[in-house]
Amino acid sequence: MNKNTIAAADLRQDLDLTLDELRALLSLASEVKKRPREYAQALAGRALALLFEKPSLRTRLTFELAIQQLGGNAVTTIGMIGEREPLKDVARNLDRWTQGIVARVFSQDTIESLAVWSRVPVINALSDLYHPCQALADVQTIHERFGRWQGLKLAFAGDGNNVAHSLIFTAGRLGMHVSIGCPKSYSPNPALVAKARGMGISVDVTHDVAAAVDGAHVVYTDVWASMGQESESAERQRVFAPYQVNSTLMAKAASDAIFLHCLPAKRGQEVTDEVMESEGSAIFDQAENRLHAQKALLLMLID
């Protein structure tokens, strides 16, 4: 079954936004950040459902606040989606009551199914394959620091995970070169890397983290063991130890390089406290911009 005749745009993955839409969204995010009062009633009378299979601080609060600050209402449900009733029934109940569904889930398949069965927009707030909302805030932060994207190098150190995938498609389409430095067995999805290269995105994958970071304007990392990977934690700490972002690694980046992390961070594991608290760290600007980028996303999809 396809969507009903009242079709809605979704953000299931980064490529659901065309490059023109991506640029327009980021311009709007900057505008909303500067003049929030002008948008205070933009979603008045609208409600959105927030579905969380995973715990969250930044995603939950920034979406709840974004909806509220735009004049709408957020209703949050925590638990496994489709556990008590079929997913297609969940989606078709929610689209009768709300004007959008935001879902933070374990599997990308859940996002895809919600989008098939729902007549209202579905927003991927994190899945095992993508984290598009995070990438939007990331590139907004990068532009604030450098005034451009074109020609910049972004180095991602560690696990070639959902965040890495979204950075490839979002930062890469904006003209950044993305270099992934990761252990061989933790490389990003090869089919997605091939797809990106086929689109003309400049991306390389190396197992030499120093080479990945060399000359980078942005150095990015994420936790070594995400939610659902706790049983692998000890092995991951062993494998990823050489990929820690510390002052020695940062010294290989450009002199004006910034450090990014999607948070939460395991200080002393994937990144040192020294780097987290350094002058070049933009992690809290990055976290703040989740709010503004998501406001812009809601305005484009819901309003």
> What is the set of active-site residues?
104, 131, 134, 222, 262, 290
Place of tokens 């991506």: 22
DSSP 262-297: -S---BTTTB-HHHHTSTTB-HHHHHHHHHHHHHHH
Query: Is 274:246 a contact under the CB 8 Å cutoff?
Result: yes
In the numeric block, which tokens belong to residue 85?
Answer: 């009733």
Residue 139: what are its φ and ψ, rounded to 5°? -70, -30
Q: For residues 187 and 205, is the Cβ–Cβ distance under 8 A?
A: yes
Q: In what order do the strands lie in the sheet with 73-78?
A: 73-78, 47-52, 101-104, 122-126
Task: Tell which residue, 106, 127, 103, 126, has the closest CA to residue 115.
Answer: 103
Contact in structure between 121 and 96 (CB atoms under 8 Å)? no
One-letter amino acid for residue 42 of the chain: A
- Please give the structure tokens belonging to residue 9: 């745009």
